[in-house]
Amino acid sequence: MSVLPIVQWPDARLSEVCAEVGQHDVSQLISDMFDTMYAANGRGLAAPQVGVMARLFVMDAGWKEGTQTPLVMINPEITPEGSEQVLEEMCLSVPDVAVPVSRPKSLCARWTDAHGAPQTARFEGAESRIIQHEFDHLEGKLHFDRVSQSTREALEAPYLKALA
């Protein structure tokens, strides 16, 4: 069990585009990221959130409801589709702030799994939402970046005040 420190906004690493994961072994990183995500009571965690600028994330949409469904996506490509829905999103890098984000309800994904095998699948509901949020981290984007400037400023203000 190894819980890593989580990079906190406004750390600049949260705004960087991550590099493709090559042939190196990321199994220890994945294991540590799951430990970190569960310890922080989260449903998803992307590598840049633990300071590793690589295109992978871990998630588990159902563990809080008692059904563990751990999923690892390495070098994911996603195609969101369908009508959009506004839902409040939390981020382990921006504690205690809920941001209402509009995103398509479903998506198709291609990725490499933890064993190095290529995978494709379609996702809906909570999983689709988490995948889109975590994928954004690999692109250097936060939920903040998907709302209007005025909404963003209103959400950021108390947070920045608390940091000061």
Q: How far apart are CA 47 and CA 156, in angstroms?
A: 23
Site residues (CB under 5 A) for Zn ion, limited to 131-160: none
Annotated active-site residue in 65, 134, 153, 156: 134
The residue with tokens 């589709």 is: 81
8-state DSSP, 17: P
Can residue 52 be called a binding residue for Zn ion (CB under 5 A)?
A: no
Closer Cβ to Zn ion, 29 or 91, answer by number: 91
The residues facing 80 across adjacent strands are 107
Closer Cβ to Zn ion, 115 or 139, answer by number: 139
The stretch near Zn ion (CB under 5 A) out of 6-14, 22-30, 89-97, 145-153 is 89-97
Which one among 30, 52, 58, 91 touches Zn ion, defined by CB under 5 A? 91
- Say whether 134 is catalytic: yes
Closer Cβ to Zn ion, 41 or 118, answer by number: 41
74: CB partners within 8 A, 6+ apart: 21, 26, 55, 56, 111, 112, 113, 114
The stretch near Zn ion (CB under 5 A) out of 53-61, 88-96, 97-105, 120-128 is 88-96
Residues 1, 40, 105, 125: what is their CA dihedral angle, to the nearest 10 degrees?
70
Alpha helix stretches (DSSP H) within 2-124: 27-39
Residues assigned a catalytic role = 134
Interface contacts to Zn ion, rule CB under 5 A: 91
